[in-house]
Structure 1
């Protein structure tokens, strides 16, 4: 078992990756099929989405259910551990919603500065 410097370190190891928190967010409401997740998590490639879903599954955050039907039907949902993680991420989501305009302005200024 890897050693963690603190609880935040453990959490960040689980949600590391640009898309994992968004995947968890979109699975909080209800199970989603792959295509639904792909549309919800805008900008993610198929390769990365599949990889991050597999990692979340192996970490016990997401469960993949294969219904063994034709045509194939598979969906993803949060485990109890995943739901508790989603609950912990909710305040971050709220902060982003409350400060979205300011954050957008800051990033726009940063982009201007980078362009020269």
Structure 2
């Protein structure tokens, strides 16, 4: 079976590098996008098995990107990943599959990815 593909949409190069390294080491294929437009294009052209999506970034923000992705492919799990804890309370309204507060300790994120792709 081919490895599961994760699309990481985040405008922070350090986060992209960390997540890419961690998920490739864990056996996933990883694609990266640095803003909402790039993320939507990558999602449409080669749909991933899961998306890790920042909320606050250039172009359409993560909430708008999430809305458009769920219109196209509601079956693809999306993890909102933000530095802002207060966004977590709105999780249900946004129809994301999980919300993880951004951190350089990514054990919770890795476990959530494993759970959603199981």
Q: Is the structural similarity TM-score above 0.5?
A: no
Structure number with the higher strand fraction is 2
Larger Rg, first or second structure (1 or 2) = 1
Structure number with the higher helix fraction is 1
